Amino acid sequence: MTALATGVSAQTLNVQMNADLRDSHPGVNRDGNSDGIMVHLVEGLVGYTEQTEVVPMLAETVDVSEDGTTFTFTLRDGVTFHNGEPLTSKEVLWSWEHYMDEATEWACARDFDGSRNLEVTSVEAPDDKTIVMKTDTPSAVFLALMARPECGQTGILHPASVDADGNWVAPIGTGPFKWSEWRKGEFVDLVAFEDYAALDGATEPDGLVGAKKPLVDKVRFMVIPDAAAVSAGLRSNAIDVASISPDLLPEFKDDPNMTLYNVRNFGNNVMYFQIRDPLLEKVEIRRAIAEAIDFDQLVEIASHGVGVPNMSMISVDSAYYSDVQKKRRAYDPESAKKRLQDAGYNGERISIIANKRGNVPSYASAIVAQAMMQQVGLNAQIDVLDYATQTDRRRNGEGQLLSVSIGPRFDPSLTYAFFIGDKDADKGKLWDDPKAMELMEKSFTTLDQAERQKIFDEMHELMLDQMPAVFMYNLVYSWVATSEVEGKPVWQSFPRAWEVSKAE
């Protein structure tokens, strides 16, 4: 491989993943690992900053009509795809049609087709540099919806990403790295896009926008789920950047050869109830489980002291995290015992499904919660599944209680939309209370921030009453980089390989 134009010699940045890529298709059959790779390959019209604001990315400007239903995007000049073709409005139109095609199975299509909160009624390109999108209703979150990493950032693709028969091949985007090779179960290789068109005037990385120059020739995302293997790989320099489990924090905290990043984000660690289970459909049992858990102690143990208890769906770092959002059910074992008695609980087995991914507290939280639940008479047992199977169980509405970690959504409405909805239409939804669905829908169309706050606070009070889940604390990802790594290789829950190099 030739050296980059920046003058940096040929380098490979080895980044650990705890599970394999699910799909190379942005926003399709995705999970957090998949999203973390896609942000290097594709870019959307808009993107998130470090402070989770939505700003133009492939667009130079975004104009919104007074009624909040027409969005006009003017594309930046000089942007090219990985195959050398220039970005025009034609590729934007093609990408939108591709995502909205039912055959694509894009995870976010229902957010735009009218089946949830809004419908994109038209997308037009009056010229090569302009895209006009219209919605059927004013939206407080339209741009935030488009920028989401879990949607692949609604990344603009070149049509050559599919073959002549329309079958998916690989992503050809505009990001700082290009698709190279996927050896399933082992690694995904990306190579530097030397013709990457940086934002004018950007000198520092800024979330998923800002300066994004590739400073290494290749990034290898290595599938290494075992915590001991991750530790050994960092020590031997076989791994440059890794997300580690909390129990490894003491090992790396004071190591002068390593840089430790404890990064809190907008994701959630959750005890996810299947509320149509014959036991857990009883609200008194769900309330009892919540009151049986000493959250301060659980979070201290599971996070090794880096987490902050939070029973709200909204992140503690959100502008919408109010005094109401700080409320939580009190730890009260005696009340929990009485609730179980009133509900007619008779020692039936309650399965806590957990995974042992090294960088999330699924298993650690399950162990602590199990002990506390057993103290009040709940027959709580842990069933360990691999992460992919556990994810499939959650999406299919199977199991009883799942200890899971859900990736970040940066607007409260988007977090609610992940958890709330019609379980008959989507079995993976957590909560289908009519009032909760009404409030969620209202939050999408309410433009005034103070009014949105009232909606979110009412939602939290309702959630504490019905307890469709036990929200424990916001995700804290602990990342380690060897001392040879220069730059900050992480943002939120994602590895970030641009503007990162390795010392010679």
251 within a domain of the structure (yes/no): no
276 within a domain of the structure (yes/no): yes
Q: Is 81 helix (H, G, I), strand (E, B) or coil?
A: coil
Whether the pLDDT of residue 469 is over 80: the answer is yes
Whether the pLDDT of residue 259 is over 80: the answer is yes
- The CATH number linked to 210 is 3.40.190.10
Q: Are residues 188 and 336 in the same domain?
A: no
Q: Are residues 331 and 443 in the same domain?
A: yes
Q: Are residues 269 and 187 in the same domain?
A: no
CA-based nearest residue to 100, from 80, 114, 81, 85: 114
Q: Are residues 44 and 184 in the same domain?
A: yes
Percent of the chain with pLDDT over 90: 80
243 within a domain of the structure (yes/no): no
- Give the strand pairing for 485-486 and 501-502: antiparallel
259 within a domain of the structure (yes/no): no
End-to-end Cα spacing for the chain: 17
188 within a domain of the structure (yes/no): yes
Buried b (16+ CB within 10 A) or exposed e, 22-48: bbbbbbbebbbbbbbbbbbbbbbbbbb
Mean pLDDT of 351-376: 93
Q: Which domain holds residue 410?
A: 265-476
Q: Are residues 445 and 490 in the same domain?
A: no
Q: How far is CA 375 from its chain centroid?
A: 34
Q: Give the global pTM.
A: 0.78
Mean pLDDT of 187-196: 97
Q: Are residues 278 and 220 in the same domain?
A: no
Per-residue pLDDT, 7: 43
pLDDT in tens, 380-426: 999 999 988 999 999 999 999 999 998 888 899 989 989 999 999 99
51 within a domain of the structure (yes/no): yes
pLDDT mean across residues, the chain: 93
Res. 304 pLDDT band, cuts 50 70 90:
confident
420 within a domain of the structure (yes/no): yes
Q: Are residues 333 and 464 in the same domain?
A: yes
Query: What is the widest separation between alpha-carbon atoms in the chain?
Result: 71
Residue-by-residue DSSP string for 208-241: TEE-----SSEEEEEE---HHHHHHHHHTTS-SE
Q: Are residues 488 and 385 in the same domain?
A: no
231 within a domain of the structure (yes/no): no
Q: Are residues 190 and 297 in the same domain?
A: no
Contacts of 10 (CB under 8 A, 6+ apart): 1, 2, 3, 217
Instruction: Quote the number of domains for the chain.
Output: 2
**Helices 362-375/283-292 angle, 10° precision:** 100
Q: Is 14 helix (H, G, I), strand (E, B) or coil?
A: strand
- The CATH number linked to 370 is 3.10.105.10
Q: Are residues 441 and 460 in the same domain?
A: yes
Q: Are residues 57 and 166 in the same domain?
A: yes
Whether the pLDDT of residue 111 is over 70: the answer is yes
Q: Are residues 128 and 168 in the same domain?
A: yes
For residue 259, what are the CA distances in angstroms to 113, 164, 251, 253, 451? 45, 47, 12, 8, 42
Per-residue pLDDT, 71: 97
DSSP conformation class of 296: H
